[in-house]
Amino acid sequence: MTERARLDDLAGRQPPALPAALFWTRLHLVRNLRRRAFLLWALGLGITLVALRLVGAPHRVLEQLALVYLTPLLGLFFGSGVLREELEDQTLTYGFTRPVRRAWLYMARVLAAAGPALTLAAAAAAVAARSPGVAPRLVASALLGGLAYTCLFAAVGLRSRGSTWIGLGVFLVWELGVGAVPGFLGRLTLVTHVRSLSGLGLDAGVLGRLWEPVAWPISLAALLGVTALSLALGGFWAERREFPLAR
């Protein structure tokens, strides 16, 4: 074998992507769970939920708070800055100069970012549940919803530096506003599917009386579909985008 052929062979060696991505997920998941932001969220959330229970807030309010408000906001907070943080702290280079496709590393980072969001969302849903029998359904809904939101906002974060503001706009206008509209339009929002899966429905009022849950297989497919699509789009963009580090 000539020297050139040896080098070509060496350069062509690409390790299996899945084990590398799983390792990268684990590494960053542990890092994320030890970060101050996660600990502050956990503390704040714990205090809020305990206080609301102590003052006798109805379970319905707590459940809505956990699933309709907290789950998307957690997804936004932990998802929107997935690669931006590594860009800002200038550590992105280390991962992106390895023989693993960037799409895999991006997905690994999104899943690692989803870890804290899902942990908090699931814990909030469990604490808010009106009975132990309802808790698993609420927790499952929070997990699926949280994953979809995290992946969606992570993909938005790859395309825009203002992803936090865009995400807040999406949450307030699209999810809370359009999500309360009965019929087809409302079904285009993630929150409708989270409500349907969890059995929460829409609170009282004219819209609440008109609101109808979506069949759970459709809601399940919608949440998983958004998750997969967002991951795929994010991976696609991560492969094609330049990530010049600030100096």
Partner 1 sequence: MSAMTPSTEMSEEMSEEMSGEVSGEVSEETPETARLIARGVSKSFGPIRALNEFDLEIGPGVTGLLGPNGSGKSTLLKLFSGQLRPDTGTVRVLGRDPFRDVSVFAALGLCPEQDKFYEELTGLDFVTALTRLHGYDARAARERAAAAMARVGMTAHERKPIRAMSRGMRQRTKIAQAIAHDPAIVLLDEPLTGADPVARAELIELIARLGAEGRCVVVSSHVLHEVEAMTHQVVLIRFGRLRAQGDIVRLRTLLDDRPYRIRVTTDAPRPLASRLLERLDHVRAVSVVADDALELTTLELDRACFDIPQLAGELGQTVRGFTSPDADLESLYRYLIEEA
Q: Which residues bind partner 1 (CB under 8 A)?
A: 2-4, 7-8, 10-16, 19-20, 23-24, 27, 31, 34, 89-91, 93-102, 242-245, 247
Cβ at position 237, least distance to partner 1 in Å:
14
Q: Are 198 and 137 in contact (CB under 8 A)?
A: yes
Nearest CB to partner 1, comparing residues 11 and 55: 11
Nearest CB to partner 1, comparing residues 90 and 160: 90
Nearest CB to partner 1, comparing residues 108 and 170: 108
Cβ at position 38, least distance to partner 1 in Å:
13
What sign has the CA pseudo-torsion 38, 107, 239, 101?
positive
Q: Are 119 and 74 in contact (CB under 8 A)?
A: no
- Count of H-run helices and E-run strands, the chain: 14, 0
Residue 202 corresponds to which amino acid? L
List Cβ neighbours of 215 (8 Å cut-off, separation of 6 or more): 196
Helix axes 216-240, 102-128, angle to 10 degrees: 150
Calculate ∠ Cα 142-26-222, nearest 5°: 30
Cβ at position 177, least distance to partner 1 in Å:
37
Cβ at position 4, least distance to partner 1 in Å:
6
Site of tokens 């789950």: 71
Nearest CB to partner 1, comparing residues 29 and 139: 29
Cβ at position 6, least distance to partner 1 in Å:
9
Nearest CB to partner 1, comparing residues 100 and 117: 100
